[in-house]
């Protein structure tokens, strides 16, 4: 049974992440929001700390240990492992700054794909790489199964051709995990992921996008023109199993969606903490021991936001805990992502409204958090797609039956 208390073995990690967020990320948050596309050099000093935590077993990069479908849960007990540790520490880091968290060296979303799909040899070979993840294409946004980038085997190499957009850390990362199809006629089952290194011929960063939020993070458009990739860099098995369908690729999302949910949980928590302080300075005290109906309108609204946050927080912990215990968590991962993504946008924008001019101006970070949080309801599968996935799972319908 899941225990909702912070596991004792993770408390030091969580405390360290909070200190980093408060003392290192918050002070430079506004600086890199205004200096879009400038690399936050201050993050380099954190790399050794993160590596040290990974070596200790407390954390294993942004992707944690991955949702590896072939593994079974340990008999005779439950486990609070790397997925739980990553989710909780990511929430703390995003309490500091979401864009800076997404800019952390060797903590790219592509690392989650490697952790989830790679075989043992690849896990060892790609250890230490900083991997971005390239899924979205022009005209192929939420429907990942409709990927048009192709990968054709030529001797002992694959040749990739296509274009990817909205690639987080696409310019800064050492490598990019690229989703491509081996055979369009076979549909979802033929989609595989490849680790494309920065020096692979044929890969080119075309431009960086200007964005509403997470401006500290670079978001790239990347093209692949006869890009040659060693066959050994196809993650997992090259065999196309039409019975398995999209399951191999979806294992990546089972891993990353709880982490994105954790980002929303952390960013919203920051907004709530600051809003409570600002309300108290204005003479509005939130009393957790009294019914909301007996308090001021502002305090009652704040309590509603707290309850919304708590629901998203618990769903996120559940999805991470299930991954650690090798339980199928596709439904729960989508539930956490859907709830937390919507909650993050609602809570941060509501906090802006509650704080009036202080919320809307750059005097405080509330307006920035409301901008940053919006992407967390979009990338790694939009709000609408998550609702579709959950509905299909609950109703037992296929993607063809429920669109």
Give exposure, 123-153, as e/b (b: 16+ Cβ within 10 Å): beebeebbbbbbbbbeebeeebbebebbbee
**Rounded distance between C-alpha atoms, residue 208 and residue 379, angstroms:** 17
* Residue among 163, 364, 367, 380 flagged as catalytic: 380
Q: Is 380 known to be catalytic?
A: yes
Q: At what angle do helices 366-374 and 26-34 cross, to 10 degrees?
A: 70
Q: Which residue has the tokens 């939130």?
A: 286
Q: Are 334 and 260 in contact (CB under 8 A)?
A: no
**Rounded distance between C-alpha atoms, residue 158 and residue 178, angstroms:** 12
- The CA-atom distances, in angstroms, between 190 and each of 109, 143, 152, 398 are 22, 15, 11, 18
**Rounded distance between C-alpha atoms, residue 161 and residue 163, angstroms:** 7
**Rounded distance between C-alpha atoms, residue 299 and residue 344, angstroms:** 19
**Rounded distance between C-alpha atoms, residue 207 and residue 204, angstroms:** 9
Q: At what angle do helices 82-96 and 247-281 cross, to 10 degrees?
A: 40
Structure tokens at 214: 């997470």
- Neighbour count for residue 163 (Cβ, 10 Å): 18
Q: Are 175 and 132 in contact (CB under 8 A)?
A: yes
Q: Return the C-alpha torsion angle 49, 53, 56, 58, nearest 10.
A: 170
Q: Are 353 and 275 in contact (CB under 8 A)?
A: no
- The CA-atom distances, in angstroms, between 115 and each of 125, 130, 162, 302 are 12, 12, 25, 39
Coil, strand or helix at 228: strand
Helix (H) or strand (E) holding 206: strand 203-208
Q: Are 38 and 32 in contact (CB under 8 A)?
A: yes
Q: Give the residue numbers annotated as catalytic, written as ranges.
A: 380
């Amino acid at each position: 049974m899941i225990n909702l208390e912070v596991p004792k073995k993770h408390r030091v990690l969580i405390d360290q992440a909070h200190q980093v967020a408060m003392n290192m990320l918050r002070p430079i948050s506004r600086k890199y929001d205004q200096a879009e596309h400038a690399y936050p050099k201050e993050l380099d000093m954190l790399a050794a700390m993160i590596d040290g935590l990974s070596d200790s077993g407390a954390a294993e990069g942004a992707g944690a240990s991955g949702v590896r479908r072939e593994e079974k849960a340990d008999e005779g007990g439950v486990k609070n492992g790397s997925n739980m540790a990553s989710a909780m520490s990511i929430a703390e880091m995003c309490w500091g700054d979401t864009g800076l968290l997404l800019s952390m060296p060797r903590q790219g979303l592509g690392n989650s794909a490697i952790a989830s799909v790679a075989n043992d040899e690849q896990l060892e070979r790609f250890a230490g790489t900083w991997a971005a993840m390239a899924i979205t294409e022009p005209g192929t946004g939420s429907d990942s199964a409709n990927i048009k980038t192709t990968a054709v085997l030529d001797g002992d190499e694959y040749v990739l051709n296509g274009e990817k957009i909205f690639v987080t850390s696409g310019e800064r990362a050492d490598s990019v995990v690229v989703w491509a199809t081996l055979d369009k006629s076979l549909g979802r089952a033929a989609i595989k992921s490849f680790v494309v290194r920065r020096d692979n011929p044929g890969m080119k960063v075309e431009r960086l996008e200007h964005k509403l939020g997470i401006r500290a993070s670079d978001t790239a458009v990347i093209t692949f023109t006869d890009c040659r990739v060693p066959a050994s860099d196809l993650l997992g098995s090259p065999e196309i199993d039409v019975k398995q369908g999209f399951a191999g690729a979806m294992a990546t999302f089972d891993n990353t969606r709880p982490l994105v949910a954790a980002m929303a949980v952390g960013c919203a928590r920051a907004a709530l903490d600051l809003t409570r302080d600002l309300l108290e300075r204005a003479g509005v005290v939130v009393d957790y021991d009294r019914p909301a109906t007996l308090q001021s309108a502002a305090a009652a609204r704040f309590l509603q936001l707290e309850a919304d946050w708590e629901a998203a927080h618990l769903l996120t912990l559940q999805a991470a805990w299930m991954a650690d215990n090798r339980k199928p968590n596709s439904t729960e991962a989508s539930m956490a992502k859907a709830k937390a993504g919507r909650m993050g946008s609602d809570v941060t924008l509501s906090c802006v409204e509650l704080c009036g001019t202080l919320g809307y101006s750059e005097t405080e970070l509330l307006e920035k958090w409301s901008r940053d949080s919006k992407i967390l309801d979009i990338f790694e599968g939009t709000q609408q797609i998550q609702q579709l996935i959950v509905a299909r799972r609950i109703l037992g319908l296929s993607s063809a039956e429920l669109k």
